[in-house]
Amino acid sequence: MTVVIVVKDRASALDFYTRVIGFEKRTDFTPPGGARWVTVAPKGQDIEISLFQAGSYPDPKAPQNRLQPGSNPQWTLRTSDCRKDFEELKSRGVKFDQARPDEYPWGILATFSDPDGNAFALLQPPRKA
């Protein structure tokens, strides 16, 4: 499965997702006469995220050209240790919306946005009894 995140600058987004967040780059090519196609993914996961640079598609009538950075729904990344991942990502420069992860009956949560305003959450589901 591949989903699209709209970004302002693909090179900067690729750096953020690989160096800061720790995702791996899966695809990076430019077909003749086409726009560059770049995907990243959490290590070991089947889903890929396409980093679509706003306005980069060569056909001005293409529906993708109406997409804007920060207009995507929030992504929720499951983790087994939200506090640990929170501290690690914070040390790499991720700016979280809270000073520390929040605890709820349904899990532990911390939220942040990428440099283009795309929203993410780290979610640690509760341990099963």
pLDDT value at 129 more than 80: no
Same domain, 11 and 60: yes
Q: What's the total number of domains in the chain? A: 2
Q: Are residues 45 and 88 in the same domain?
A: no
Looking at the chain, the number of H-run helices and the number of E-run strands are 2, 8
CA distances from 74 to 36, 82, 101, 103, 117 (A): 24, 17, 17, 19, 10
> Residue range 1-7: average pLDDT?
82
pLDDT digits (tens, 9 = 90+) for 76-90: 888 999 999 999 999
Q: Are residues 89 and 57 in the same domain?
A: no
- The answer, yes or no, to whether residue 118 has pLDDT greater than 70, is yes
Structural domain of residue 115, as residue ranges? 75-124
Q: Write down the pLDDT at residue 62.
A: 53
- 7 and 49 share one domain: yes
87 in any annotated domain: yes
What is the pLDDT confidence band of residue 16, given thresholds at 50, 70 and 90?
Answer: very high
Query: Which among 66, 98, 115 is the end of a domain?
Result: 66
Q: Tell me what percent of the residues of the chain surpass a pLDDT of 90.
A: 49
State residue 20's pLDDT score.
95
State the pLDDT at residue 66: 55
Neighbouring-strand partners of residue 103: 108
Tell me whether residue 129 is in a domain: no
Q: Is the pLDDT of residue 128 over 90?
A: no
For the cut 70, the answer to whether the pLDDT of residue 67 exceeds it is no
